[in-house]
C-alpha cells in the first residue's frame, strides 16, 4: 500500500473588481439598449422612422411580455 495523498496544487484566486467592473458596465449598457429597442422603439419614442426596428424585434417583445398590438 502506498502513502500518497492528494493535495491541491493551486488555490482559488478571486478576480479583482477593477477587471470585472468595465465589462459589467458595458454589458449593462448593452442590456439597457436592447430593452429600449424591444420595449419602447415605436410611435412617439421612436429613434428611427418606420416600423423596421419594431418588426425586427417583434417576437422578442412578445417573449418578454411587452404588448404591441
User: Cβ atoms within 10 A of the Cβ of 14, count?
Assistant: 6
Listed in sequence order, the residues at least 6 apart from 62 whose beta carbon sits closer than 8 Å to its beta carbon are: 68
- Residue 7 inside a domain? The answer is no
Residue 59's pLDDT band (boundaries 50, 70, 90)? confident
- Residue 35 inside a domain? The answer is yes
- Residue 9 inside a domain? The answer is no
- Residue 51 inside a domain? The answer is yes
Please report where in the chains the cell 458596465 appears, as a residue.
25
5 neighbors 11 (Cβ within 8 angstroms): no
Q: What is the model's pTM?
A: 0.59
Per the structure, the count of domains in the chain is: 1
- Residue 2 inside a domain? The answer is no
Mean pLDDT score, 42-46 = 68
- Residue 43 inside a domain? The answer is yes
Residue 26 has pLDDT above 90, yes or no: yes
What residue numbers bound the domain in which 39 lies?
21-64
- Residue 16 inside a domain? The answer is no
Listed in sequence order, the residues at least 6 apart from 60 whose beta carbon sits closer than 8 Å to its beta carbon are: 38
- What is the rounded CA–CA span in Å between residue 52 and residue 14? 44
- Residue 52 inside a domain? The answer is yes
Amino acid at each position: 500500500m502506498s502513502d500518497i495523498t492528494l493535495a491541491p496544487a493551486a488555490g482559488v484566486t478571486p478576480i479583482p473588481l477593477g477587471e470585472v467592473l468595465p465589462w459589467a458596465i458595458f454589458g449593462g449598457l448593452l442590456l439597457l439598449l436592447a430593452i429600449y429597442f424591444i420595449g419602447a422603439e415605436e410611435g412617439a419614442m421612436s429613434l428611427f422612422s418606420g416600423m423596421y426596428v419594431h418588426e425586427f424585434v417583434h417576437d422578442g417583445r412578445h417573449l418578454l411580455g411587452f404588448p404591441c398590438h
